[in-house]
Homo-oligomer: A and B are copies of this chain.
Amino acid sequence: MNKWVYGFGAGQADGDASQKNLLGGKGANLAEMSKLGLPVPPGFTVTTEVCTTFYANDRTYPDDLADQVMQAVEQIGNATGRNFGDAQNPLLVSVRSGARASMPGMMDTVLNLGLNDETVQGLAQLSKDERFAYDSYRRFIQMYSNVVLGLDHDRFEEILDDYKDVHDYQVDTDLTADDWKKVVSAFLAMVNEEMGTPFPKDVHEQLWGAINAVFSSWMNQRAITYRRLHDIPESWGTAVNVQAMVFGNMGETSATGVAFTRDPSTGEKLYYGEFLVNAQGEDVVAGIRTPQPLTKISGGEQADRSMEVVMPDVYAQLTSVFDKLEAHYRDMQDIEFTVEQGKLYILQTRSGKRTAKAAVRIATEMCAEGVLTEEEAILRVDPSSLDQLLHPTLDPDAERQVLGQGLPASPGAASGEVTFTADEAEARRAQGRKVILVRIETSPEDIHGMHAAEGILTTRGGMTSHAAVVARGMGRPCVSGAGTVNIDMAKKTMTAGGVTLIDGDIITIDGSNGTIMKGLVPTIKPELTGDFSKLMGWADKVRRMKVRTNAETPADAKTAREFGAEGIGLCRTEHMFFDENRIMVVREMILAESEEGRRYALEKLLPFQKEDFAELFRIMAGLPVTVRLLDPPLHEFLPHSEEEIAAVSRAIGVPDSVLRRRVQELHEINPMLGHRGCRLGISFPEIYEMQARAIMEAACDVNQNTGDNMVPEIMIPLVGFAKELEMLRERVTVVADEVLKERGVAMDYMIGTMIELPRAALTADEVAQHADFFSFGTNDLTQTTLGISRDDASKFLGDYQARKVLERDPFVTMDADGVGKLVEMGVHLGRQTRHDLKTGICGEHGGDPASVALCEGFGLDYVSCSPFRVPIARLAAAQATVRSKQGH
């Protein structure tokens, strides 16, 4: 016989905390607490397996369930000395859901179950409080009718409001026992009329109705949505907990409350919580009465109303429970309790949700207390949450007028003048004004404006659009793809949420959640506390993979160093081409009709590039730097609109017809799959030669001046065929050796490639013959493997996640089955050819904890990510090492 029902209470239990999968979080913890001897109202858990069986069998229950439930109900009766449905001595129960993972408020609950016209009288006698009994009864009818029978709450509220109006009552507490009796009658009559059948009087019918409702609520829309948002599989199912009722509303010696064993926003080791005297849980939620503080110290002006003061005995009991639970679970706990006529009951305990700041503090302090090891402490902080600590955040107390919502493309909050062009942004910045750059979408030509801006808002493009990627790289807050915002570039206005703002109006954006607000909303600066650096130190000690950064500007490189980057994994040289001083020379090069003409222009670029690299090398002070040779298609450097063409034509003295023809020649239907990457290096080897020379000369200079021994890593992008790399490696080697000979120095350098096309991964054994290192460019590898353009994906990726085709955005978290398989294959085949092949990842995934975990599994040597994600990657890499040691 299958065991479907697990009892608990009175110092013992069938299950324990390890059985969360079977009993759900709440049920497992109730069992555990019972075993610990804590005062838990007795009850039982109907397992998640029943839920699974229920749905697998067309919503029917196992045959033997009814008997097991019946016996369990009797056991509660034995433990409480009451009887379910007994008119004199009635047992009342609560029926609650309890899934493996917490899904607060998502599923249904029924309280006070077991009341009917007879048992309510028994309750009145037992409690010696007729008013309480009928109030409980009416609450039960209302809740049950809503949850189980599907009647609207409002129908009951209307009756109650009418009653209060007629009798001129202001609040519920004005009603007497007799009043509640009349309300109950009115409720029952209404239910009878609406349902065509009376409200169930049979307490077992009530119980099964409630159990049914909880299991059914697993598939309600709210729950489905919540699961999707939190990656909870449908197959887990929920458990149902049936538990003897205890009443926090049995007079002035009764109370109900919630508490955390430490402060969930700061992490400080202080009991933290609230309670209400003479109240049931729902009253706390309703927010009509102001709860009282738990402790004097946290009470402020309310200290005298704190439980520590008003119920010192119960408070003492409660804190001893807190200590016991925290020590037992070795984590900060979130606890629900009820005091019934002076007696304390614990209704629930679970790990408390906390801010990133609190998580870091709690983990480090618990380690100092000897509760956790360093490795355990590392695992206690969600790496993604660190983002909250690294960027300014909105003052939580500040008022805000939300205009619209976009994607949280780059975290942090910022305010500034609405500014529609990059040039204007730069000009205003020069005047000391703060701006938010507002664009339909950004392109490489907007980089200077993005730099000048406090934050960026775009109406098109996804989480990995140009705006998002660049903003994250720069650490600028960014909201992208805000489709409900309308921009009129001609009029220089933006309209959102019914409000039209003009150029220069102030807005605030929060890139951590995608919100767009009117006016200036104050922000709070990040503070990297001692706990943070302590925890990161432990993480650095344990992790196997190195963490580098993707950076090409000195500012980014410095930021990344401060955040602990151990080198540069991706320096995109093209970003240096867009600088105002250079773009005209770049265009001259593109417009040249011959190799000589191109070489002439490149000669002018050489000193710029060399100084760019030298500065990065100096900042990185001997750490490795991977420089990617030119990657984007040349048309990205040319103007496109007629207006821009005319302007550039004037500026560089080339007829606009020539410029227009070249723009047309270079136009591509699918630029992502076009003439770019190493294909440029093969068509115009002189470009790569100039870049190789700039890198080598800069490295020689810097190593000589600093005494560092930096080994430059020259990376050739978009290789699909081993032959491409072979040819370009040869070219680059010739130049590099030439430089070393000119300088008369010996210096190591490496030449490698990005693996960003499926073919490169599939033939990695051949490619590795010519590579000292592989850097997996998983942005492009995702685009090609999945056949999805990240610039265009927003049209359907949202739909895809909503319909569960995709669990996560594959541009945020690496697609393990497709892209991951290719990365794994690439590493494996590459090392077959060169066992010492250095491997890393430099796509956006390098800063995503789940992807970092995959990289650990693939045996990569390092991950590289944007500067602001470096701490996240450091922690995620450490967690991955710890978990892999643990065999996960």
Contact = CB atoms under 8 A, between A and B. Distances in A.
A364 interface: no
Interface stretch (A487-495, A640-648, A791-799): A791-799
A818 interface: yes
Contacts of A766: 817
A721 interface: yes
A482 to B, nearest CB: 15
Copies of this chain per assembly: 2
Nearest to A819: B759
A762 interface: yes
A485 to B, nearest CB: 15
Interface centre among A673, A763, A783, A804 (most CB of B within 10 A): A673
Given A672-B673, A674-B795, A723-B804, A762 B785 contact: yes
A356 B225 CA distance: 66
A630 to B, nearest CB: 14
A671 interface: yes
A806 interface: yes
Contacts of A819: 759
Contacts of A673: 670, 672-673, 783-784, 787-789, 792
Contacts of A783: 673
A756 B783 CA distance: 14
A323 B844 CA distance: 72
A800 to B, nearest CB: 7
A875 to B, nearest CB: 30
Interface residues of A, number: 48
A266 to B, nearest CB: 43
Interface string A84-123: 0000000000000000000000000000000000000000
A672 B674 contact: no
Contacts of A671: 669-670, 792
A340 interface: no
Contact of A669 (B672, B786, B799, B815): B672
Contacts of A683: 796, 799
A501 interface: no
A804 B722 CA distance: 11
Nearest to A680: B796
Contact of A799 (B682, B788, B792): B682
Contact of A786 (B757, B786, B787): B757
Given A682-B805, A723-B805, A792 B675 contact: yes
Nearest to A817: B763
Contacts of A799: 682-683
A758 B783 CA distance: 10
Nearest to A804: B723
A727 interface: yes
9 contacts: A670-B672, A673-B673, A673-B788, A674-B792, A682-B803, A724-B805, A759-B785, A759-B819, A784-B785
Interface of A: 668-675, 679, 682-683, 718, 720-721, 723-724, 727, 756-759, 762-763, 766, 780, 783-789, 791-792, 795-796, 799-800, 803-806, 815, 817-819, 821-822
Give the 5 A-B CB pairs with smallest separation, nearest first. Answer: A759-B818, A673-B789, A670-B789, A757-B787, A758-B758
Given A671-B792, A674-B792, A757-B787, 12 more contacts: A668-B792, A668-B795, A670-B791, A672-B672, A673-B673, A673-B784, A679-B800, A682-B800, A720-B788, A724-B805, A758-B758, A758-B784
